[in-house]
Every structure is written in C-alpha cells, then in structure tokens.
Amino acid sequence: MTLVVQKFGGTSVGTPERMRRVAERIVATADTGATVCVVVSAMGHTTDELLDLAAQVSSRPQPRELDMLLTAGERISMALLAMAIGDLGRDAVSFTGSQAGIVTDTQHGKAKILEVRVDRVREALDQGRIAIVAGFQGVSTDANVTTLGRGGSDTTAVAMAAALGADVCEIYTDVEGVFSADPRVVPAARKLPVVSYEEMLELSSAGAKVLALRSVEYARTHGVRIHVRSTFTETEGTWVVEEAEMLEQAIVSGIASDKGEAKVTMVGVPDHPGIAGRLFRPLADGGIHIDMIVQNVSAAGFTDISFTLPKAELGTADPILRELAEQIGASGHQVDEDIGKLSVVGAGMRSHPGVAAAMFEALADAGINIEIISTSPIRISCVVRAGELDRAVEVVHERFRLTEEVLLQSDEFGASPRS
C-alpha cells in the first residue's frame, strides 16, 4: 500500500476556508487507498503575531520560552486540520512534535533532529487514521520543546517520510514546482519535471525559496523522494530524486537569484600568508555565513578582500569586522548592500566545461558587469549590481534556452556528454 507524507505550509492553511480545502485534498488522497501522514505549519501570520507579542513583554526573550510560545502556532493549525478532516467523515488525529517522536538536540530556535521515534504515528496509520503532525517542532533530549528554525516544517516532513519509509514526501506550496528561473522575473520560465538532490541543494543555497536547504540534505541522506507541487492545482510538480533515477541529465537545469546578500570589502589588508584564516575564523565563530570570497591582486604588499554574507547578519558582523580591521592592520571595511547574485545550476555541466564561458558571454553581451564569481562542480554564481539582477537572469535564461525542453541533446556548450 502506498504511504504518502504531505506537507502544507502556512499559506495553504492560512484561513479556515483554506484549511477546509486542504482537508478535502488530504481526504481525496486517502480515498485512493493510500496511507496518509500530514505535516502542517502554523497558519499564515501566526508566528509573526506571536513574535510581536514576545517583543511587547521582553527585550530579550529566553530561547526556550520563545520555542514554547511559537509551537502554539502548529498546535492550533494541526488540531483545526484534524477537525476539518473529521468533519468530512474521516478519522484524523493530531500529534505535537513531541508526540510524533521528533527528538532533537537542545539548541533552541535551531534544533537538529537526532532521531524520529515513529511508533505512535505508525500505530495511528495502521488503524486507518490520518495522522497530522506539527511541523517545525520537536522535543529535546532534555525534555524541552524545541523548534527547528527556518524551513523546519519541510524538514519535519522529510524526516517523517524517512522514518515511516514513505513512498513519497509531497511538499505543497503556492507555486507549481521548481522552475528554470523565478517566473516573476522570467515569465517564460519552465517548470522542471525532475531535479537531482545535488541540483536542488545548489538551487536552494543559491536563493531558490521553494524548498529549505536542510530538508533537501535530509532527503538526500535518507533517500526520500520529494514531490514539490501546488496546493491549489492538481498538476504534477517537480520531483527531487537521486541523480541515478533521472533518465537524462540537463546541462543547465535552472537559475536561482538572490538579493538577500551584501558585499563586504576589507580594504588595505597587509598581504601576509595566513591573513585569510585570521580574517574568516572570527566571522565563522560569530555564526556569520560567508558565501563568496574574492581576493584582489596584491599591490605594494596590500590587498583588498571582498566577500558576501546575508544582509540580516550585517549587524552581528559589523563589530567583529571593526575589531578585525584593527588587529590585522587593514584600513577598514566597506559594506555594499546593493548587489544581487545569480546562479546557474545543472548536474550535466560537470561534463560540459563551456557553460561558464557561455554565461559570462551572455552577461557581457547585455553590458552587465560581473563583480564576483564562484563555482561548484554543478553551479556557477555571479554577483552583479542589484538593479541589473533581473535582466541578468533573463539573458542567461535565454542564452541557455531553458524555456525549451530540447536542451538535453544540445552540445553547443562544449565537450562531450559524460562518459
């Protein structure tokens, strides 16, 4: 018998009316004879409203209490969803993270799942009931309530799917799947029928919002097949699977773009060996996520080092950078928030070295200057001016003809198909 895990986000259950529609969708799946376990997020803006209340009573809420507070959100949505399903004549039962056996470490606000003790949920499923599990939350090894941080509900869904040995983990969202580029930027963007875990990891870390990075990592590690699809339509979405499962390999699958980063330049750094380590160790210890790094050619024993980091972390990074500049004898640091990053991702580019050149040419033809470049075996990222980002995505999308499905046979980007 098919076992399906379905995850619905906050927008999908944002109002009682939407909640009822989601309930109908779940019951329709159960009516096919499938065993269904649902993971649900807090309704719409609940989390923001709770954070607002917290800010009104405390300037620095204790992380444990913040987790206690926020987990009220899924408690509300899961109970309501179980009721809505019950109202359709199906037996549903809700489980908190703790009841569902989501055991985490003790890091409040960003806990990691250590183990899923799935017995209680499995028992409910075996009884023919629909199990509704709270996303985003768990219970720590010291018996406190924890939350998993950003993208936590996706991770809960994948973890439940892994623990239950589900045939598929369906992630319902407000878009129809993973696209070759953001459809708001490139209206002709094409929905990708299938991407590999590696491609999805690169897309997610490069700014694609559709799936949380850590849920994809968890899926890859545990071999969970993900199906990203729309809450509001019946059409097939995008499958995220093992590369080996894919019949054909696109050279370039999609383009992700990101305006959430800033560029920091440390100016006038004495060019000694080991200087980069001295620069980035304190930032790493401060929990700052450094992405791209470029070091300029040294002149007269001094150099400039630029790197990107999330804008949201600038406040934390600033005092560290000030102290660093003094310690290493640099002139100071400059912050540039007016940048954008586009990334081209495709598992097939491993065997097609011409992809980078084609991307740079497309940008040059459009008169767009590239400020930083970084690459992985299946990704090429460029930083450009923020104001030019959308056009950069468009011209690169056009260059790789991502709108067309015929791309797979193309060998114009150099070299031979992989052996």
* Residue 250: Cβ-neighbour burial (10 angstroms; 0-12, 13-18, 19+): buried
Q: Which is nearer to a copy of itself, 66 or 256 (CB)?
A: 66
Q: Which is nearer to a copy of itself, 145 or 283 (CB)?
A: 145
CB of 405 to a copy of itself, least distance (A): 42
- Residue 61, token pair as written in the block: 């809420």
DSSP SS3 for 340: strand
- 64 touches a copy of itself (CB under 8 A): yes
CB of 319 to a copy of itself, least distance (A): 24
CB of 64 to a copy of itself, least distance (A): 7
DSSP per position, 378-404: TEEEEEEEGGGHHHHHHHHHHHTTTTS
How far is residue 327 CA from its own chain's centroid? 36
**1, 33, 57, 247: residue in contact with a copy of itself (rule CB under 8 A):** 57
Contact flags string 130-149 toward a copy of itself, x per CB under 8 A:
-------------x-x----
User: Rounded to whole angstroms, how far apart are CA atoms 85 and 394?
Assistant: 43
User: Rounded to whole angstroms, how far apart are CA atoms 10 and 22?
Assistant: 11
CA dihedral 305, 309, 311, 317 (to 10 degrees): -70
- Residue 265, token pair as written in the block: 């330049």
Residue type, 183: P
Q: Which is nearer to a copy of itself, 53 or 312 (CB)?
A: 53
> Which helix or strand (DSSP H or E) is residue 195 part of?
strand 194-196
CB of 170 to a copy of itself, least distance (A): 21
Contact set for a copy of itself, span 285-324 (CB under 8 A): none
DSSP SS3 for 348: helix
Q: Which of 78, 80, 48 has the alpha carbon at shortest distance from 157? A: 78
CB of 70 to a copy of itself, least distance (A): 8
- What is the 3-class SS of 36-74, one letter each residue? EEEEECCCCCHHHHHHHHHHHHCCCCCHHHHHHHHCHHH
- 21 touches a copy of itself (CB under 8 A): no
- 48 touches a copy of itself (CB under 8 A): no
**3, 34, 51, 72: residue in contact with a copy of itself (rule CB under 8 A):** 72
**34, 54, 290, 294: residue in contact with a copy of itself (rule CB under 8 A):** 54
CB of 49 to a copy of itself, least distance (A): 10
Phi, psi of 31, rounded to the nearest 5 degrees: -65, -20
CB of 122 to a copy of itself, least distance (A): 15
- 61 touches a copy of itself (CB under 8 A): yes
Contact flags string 143-182 toward a copy of itself, x per CB under 8 A:
x-x-------------------------------------
Question: How many residues of this chain bind a copy of itself (CB under 8 A)?
Answer: 42
Contact set for a copy of itself, span 85-114 (CB under 8 A): 86-87, 92-94, 96, 99
- Angstrom distances, CA of residue 319 to CA of 36, 283, 323, 388: 50, 10, 6, 31
Adjacent-strand bridge partners of 39: 7, 133
Which spans of this chain sit near a copy of itself (rule: CB under 8 A)? 16-17, 19-20, 23, 50, 53-54, 56-62, 64-66, 68-69, 71-73, 75-76, 78-84, 86-87, 92-94, 96, 99, 120, 143, 145
